[in-house]
C-alpha cells in the first residue's frame, strides 16, 4: 500500500554523521514520503528481528537520499529497542582495509568471528569494493553464514547490486534475492515536512508561504534543502523572520550561480570534445575525467564556490569527491603543459565573458604553474 503522506520513522540517531557546522540540523528520525513506500516496512522488519525472510535488506539510491543517516539510525535504534548486540556497522572499503590488515597480521579468524558474532551487520557503500575479488569472496561466505544463523544484514549502495560493475556474479545473485528498497530523492511533500520540522526544531521564524516556496523550488536531496534554510536563517540574523521576499531573492541568486557553473561545464566539455551529460554523469573515461576536473577547478577559481555547491551540479557528488578532483587537477596543471594551456585558455575566455567573482583582469598566476628549478651555484 502506497504511503499517502509523510511519516516519521524514529531512529534515535545518537551517532552524529554530520559535519560540525551541520550539528543540530539533523533530525533524529527518517522522513518517509510517497516516493519511498517500502522504507517503513523494511525498517520495521529489521527492528522486529524478522529480516531473515528478506535476506539481505539492500537500501539503494543516489547520493543524498539519506542512506548513511538511515544506517546509523538503524544501528542506534536496534540497541535502544532492546535487541541483543553486538552491532557491526562499517563501510565496505573499511571492511576491505581491515581484511587486508587481518591477513597481514594473521588474524583472519578473529576478523571473521567478530562479524559472525554480530546480531546485526550493516555494510555501507557496497560499490567501493567493486573489482576486489577476494574481499567479495569473504563477503559471500559471511553472508551465507549470517543467513544460516538468522542474523539480519543491511547493505547500502548507489544503484541496484546487479548494476554495479566489477561485482562478482555470486555476490550479485545473493543480494538480488534479498529485499531491494529504493531510496528516491524527496518529493515536494517530504521537502516541505522536512523544512517544517527543522524550523520547529531550530526555533526559526519562517512564514508558511516561505516554507512552501523553498520546498517547491529547491529540488534534490534534503541536504540541499537544509543548506538553503541554514543560509537564509544566518542571513536573517537574530532569529528574524524568513519571509517570501527573502526566499525569492535567495533563489534568484542561486539560479544565477547554477547558470554560471553550467556555462563553465559546457565550454569545458566542448574544449575536451566530450558531452556535458558525461561530464555531469558517472563516466570514468580518461578524457571525461580530465574535463570534469578542469570544470571543477575553474568553477572553484572563477566563482569561489564551495566544493559542496560544485558537487551538487556535477551529479550531486559528495564534497570530498569534488575536493579530490580539484586537487588532482591542480597537480596536473603543474605537471602537464598541454592541460595547463587548455585550462588557461578556458579561464581567460570565461573571465572575459563575465563568469568570475571579480572584475579584475585575469593573471596567469591565478592558475597553478610549475615551480622554477633553482640553478646550482
Q: Got the DSSP string for 187-200?
A: PHHHHHHHHHHHHH
Query: Of 159, 150, 103, which is closest to residue 127 (Cα–Cα)?
Result: 159
pLDDT value, residue 172: 96
Residue pair 86/117 in contact (Cβ under 8 Å)? The answer is yes
User: Does 149 fall in a domain?
Assistant: yes
Residue pair 320/267 in contact (Cβ under 8 Å)? The answer is no
Please report, for the domain that includes residue 117, its CATH number.
3.40.50.300
- Cα 298 off chain centre by: 22
In 10 A of CB 239, how many CB atoms?
12
- Contacts of 139 by beta carbon, 8 Å cutoff, 6+ apart: 95, 123, 129, 171
Kindly tell me the burial class for residue 104, based on how many C-beta atoms sit within 10 Å of its own C-beta (0-12, 13-18, 19 or more): exposed
- Look up the domain containing 225 and give its range: 188-252
Are 135 and 261 within one domain? no
* Global confidence as pTM: 0.69
Give 346-361 pLDDT, tens digit per residue.
998 888 777 766 544 4
Are 209 and 261 within one domain? no
According to DSSP, residue 7 is labeled E
Average pLDDT over residues 312-316: 80
User: Does 103 fall in a domain?
Assistant: yes
- Contacts of 284 by beta carbon, 8 Å cutoff, 6+ apart: none
Are 55 and 178 within one domain? yes
User: Does 125 fall in a domain?
Assistant: yes
Last residue of a domain, one of 201, 233, 252: 252
Percent of the chain with pLDDT over 70: 86
Are 226 and 275 within one domain? no
User: Does 29 fall in a domain?
Assistant: no
Question: Quick check: 16 pLDDT over 70?
Answer: no
Question: Quick check: 18 pLDDT over 50?
Answer: no
In 10 A of CB 133, how many CB atoms?
10
Are 133 and 262 within one domain? no
Kind plus residue range of the DSSP H or E element containing 88: strand 87-91
Last residue of a domain, one of 120, 150, 182: 182
Are 51 and 152 within one domain? yes
Strand 57-60 and strand 179-182: the pairing is: parallel
User: Does 129 fall in a domain?
Assistant: yes
Give 40-68 pLDDT, tens digit per residue.
889 988 888 665 577 899 999 988 888 98
Taking the CA atoms of 220, 223, 229 and 230 in sequence, report the sign of the dihedral they define: negative
User: Does 176 fall in a domain?
Assistant: yes
Kind plus residue range of the DSSP H or E element containing 30: strand 29-32
Are 202 and 234 within one domain? yes
pLDDT value, residue 132: 96
Average pLDDT over residues 80-88: 84
Average pLDDT over residues 77-88: 85
Are 45 and 177 within one domain? yes
Distance between CA atoms of residues 218 and 250, nearest Å: 11
71, three cell numbers: 544506517
Are 61 and 155 within one domain? yes
Are 261 and 154 within one domain? no
- Cα 208 off chain centre by: 29
pLDDT value, residue 2: 44
Distance between CA atoms of residues 347 and 351, nearest Å: 6
**Domains identified in the chain, total number:** 3
Give 153-190 pLDDT, tens digit per residue.
999 999 999 999 999 999 999 999 999 999 999 999 99
The residues that bridge with 91 in the sheet, in sequence order, are 124
Are 146 and 174 within one domain? yes
| Residue 181 φ then ψ, to 5° | -115, 115
* pLDDT-based confidence at residue 303 (cuts at 50, 70, 90): confident
Amino acid at each position: 500500500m502506497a504511503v499517502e503522506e509523510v511519516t516519521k520513522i524514529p531512529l534515535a540517531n545518537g551517532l552524529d554523521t554530520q559535519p560540525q557546522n551541520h550539528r543540530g540540523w539533523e533530525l533524529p528520525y527518517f522522513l518517509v514520503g510517497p516516493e519511498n513506500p517500502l522504507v517503513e516496512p523494511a525498517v520495521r522488519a529489521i527492528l522486529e528481528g524478522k529480516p531473515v525472510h528478506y535476506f539481505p535488506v539492500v537500501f539503494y539510491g543516489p547520493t543524498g537520499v539519506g542512506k548513511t543517516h538511515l544506517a546509523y539510525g538503524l544501528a542506534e535504534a536496534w540497541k535502544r529497542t532492546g535487541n541483543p548486540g553486538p552491532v557491526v556497522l562499517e563501510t565496505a572499503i573499511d571492511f576491505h582495509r581491515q581484511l587486508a590488515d587481518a591477513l597481514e597480521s594473521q588474524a583472519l579468524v578473529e576478523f571473521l568471528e567478530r562479524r559472525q558474532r554480530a546480531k546485526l551487520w550493516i555494510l555501507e557503500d557496497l560499490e567501493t569494493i567493486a573489482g576486489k575479488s577476494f574481499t567479495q569472496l569473504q563477503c559471500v561466505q559471511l553472508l551465507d553464514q549470517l543467513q544460516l544463523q538468522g542474523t539480519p544484514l543491511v547493505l547500502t549502495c548507489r544503484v541496484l547490486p546487479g548494476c554495479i560493475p566489477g561485482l562478482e556474479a555470486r555476490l550479485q545473485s545473493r543480494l538480488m534475492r534479498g529485499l531491494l528498497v529504493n531510496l528516491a530523492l524527496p518529493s515536494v511533500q517530504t521537502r516541505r515536512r522536512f523544512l517544517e520540522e527543522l524550523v520547529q526544531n531550530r526555533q526559526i521564524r519562517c512564514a508558511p508561504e516561505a516554507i512552501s516556496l523553498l520546498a517547491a523550488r529547491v529540488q534534490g536531496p534534503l541536504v540541499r534543502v537544509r543548506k538553503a534554510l541554514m543560509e537564509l536563517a544566518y542571513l536573517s540574523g537574530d532569529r528574524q523572520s524568513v519571509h517570501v521576499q527573502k526566499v525569492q531573492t535567495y533563489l534568484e541568486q542561486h539560479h544565477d550561480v547554477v547558470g554560471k557553473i553550467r556555462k563553465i561545464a559546457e565550454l569545458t566539455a566542448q574544449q575536451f570534445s566530450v558531452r556535458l551529460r558525461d561530464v555531469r554523469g558517472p563516466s570514468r573515461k580518461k578524457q571525461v575525467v580530465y574535463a570534469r576536473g578542469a570544470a571543477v577547478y575553474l568553477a572553484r577559481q572563477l566563482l569561489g564556490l564551495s566544493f559542496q555547491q560544485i558537487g551538487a551540479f556535477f551529479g550531486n557528488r559528495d564534497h570530498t569527491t569534488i575536493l579530490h578532483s580539484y586537487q588532482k587537477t591542480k597537480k596536473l596543471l603543474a605537471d602537464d603543459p598541454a592541460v595547463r594551456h587548455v585550462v588557461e585558455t578556458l579561464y581567460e575566455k570565461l573571465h572575459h565573458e563575465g563568469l568570475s567573482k571579480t572584475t579584475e583582469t585575469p593573471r596567469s598566476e591565478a592558475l597553478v604553474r610549475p615551480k622554477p628549478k633553482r640553478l646550482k651555484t
